Amino acid sequence: MNIVQSVIRPEILAMGAYPVADATGMVKLDVMESPYTLPDWLAREVGEAVAKLPLNRYPVPSLTRLRALIAEKMGVPEGCEVLCGNGSDECIQFITAACAREGAVVMAPAPSFVMFQMHALFYRLRFVPVPLRPDFSLDVDAFIAAMALHKPALVWLAYPNNPTGSPFSRTEVERIVRAAPGLVVIDEAYQPFATDSFMPRVAEYPNLVVMRTVSKISLAGVRLGYVGGPAQWIREFDKTRAPFNISVLAEAVAIKILENKHVLDEQAARVLAEREVVRGALARMRGLTQYPTAANFICVRIEGGPGAGTAVFESMKRQKVLVKNFSGGHPMLENCLRLTIGAPDENRAMLAALESALR
């Protein structure tokens, strides 16, 4: 055993780093980014704001203007507070750290966002997955029964779910929040493409906060996530946050763009319109099943035996179209691909590559 193996925890040695595919020269539809850049006039205003920054100084950790703007533009209820993270990934990290009592349990539907489980592992918490139904709908009775048995300190609910796109029902989620013995975090990363949100009601439950990101609405490169909820939760999470986690660059860019949020709303509406075009085209294809979605992506299952999904993925990749292949991961996602909704020309290229690969 070398020194690395003797020092690093065995469970870390056994895992792989989060995979990010090389998309050079590809139609990139694998990680749910917006296909749209900023209009020229807004890009110029962002550049002017960034040019004035005192880059020799640390960021001001309070982020007063940014947090107030998020609360205003994103519908955080009066009396609740906002905490910012370097993407929602960091929000998951500081929430998990704050809840990491020895022996605590973390629970989430499965499959769901992999970082829920990874951060539980990092903080030595026991992760209890509760399987979705075969159609990726939420088995709320099984989930509530599992909570009664395991008494989780922390429950994650992606709403809608990633990577399946499943639009869980509000009633089912409310039942879980009411029955949970600990904190429930509703991850609304894809809320701009959904028809519902728990943010307006976050103050109604003593055990609820809502987490979001701006990564899906044209700002993936900014790396900004946020949590909205009652002050007593936000104050405790803030204690585990790195003091200068949001750069002055990210702060200035986010402020300028959120002041012009109508641009992001218009772009999200274009993505929604394209999503319906893609869903219609997929419905006419043979050899796959598409699942309901309330996000900016569609999960499809390729028909056939073992390896069918990977074969289609590799064929599309040879055609210079990159999507997400889930085969080899969670067993329920075998032969599943996740198709991010892009701009019209990107979607046409993706559909053509998919249809060719299915032949």
Q: Where residue 334 sits, what CATH number does that domain have?
A: 3.90.1150.10
Strand partners, 302: 288
Residue 354 counted as domain residue: yes
Question: What domain range includes position 276?
Answer: 23-39+262-358
Name the region of 37 (left: φ>0; alpha: ψ -120 to 50; beta: rest). beta
Q: What is the CATH number of the domain that holds 172?
A: 3.40.640.10
Residue 14 counted as domain residue: no
Q: In the chain, how many domains are there?
A: 2
Mean per-residue pLDDT, 164-190: 97
Q: What are the angstrom distances between the C-alpha of 105 and each of 128, 148, 181, 241, 298?
A: 7, 12, 11, 21, 31
Nearest to 253 by CA among 114, 65, 34, 27: 65
Of 233, 260, 287, the residue at which a domain comes to its end is: 260
pLDDT at 1: 67
Nearest to 184 by CA among 161, 211, 163, 166: 211
Condensed to tens digits (0 to 9), the pLDDT of residues 239-278 reads 999 999 999 999 999 999 999 999 999 999 999 999 999 9
Are 86 and 113 part of one and the same domain? yes
Of 260, 278, 308, the residue at which a domain comes to its end is: 260
Condensed to tens digits (0 to 9), the pLDDT of residues 103-126 reads 999 999 999 999 999 999 999 999
CB atoms within 10 A of CB 206: 10
Condensed to tens digits (0 to 9), the pLDDT of residues 274-288 reads 999 999 999 999 999
- CA torsion through residues 337, 349, 26, 113, sign: negative
Are 270 and 137 part of one and the same domain? no
Of 218, 241, 260, the residue at which a domain comes to its end is: 260
AA identity, residue 314:
E
Residue 11 counted as domain residue: no
How much is the pTM? Answer: 0.95
Are 209 and 279 part of one and the same domain? no
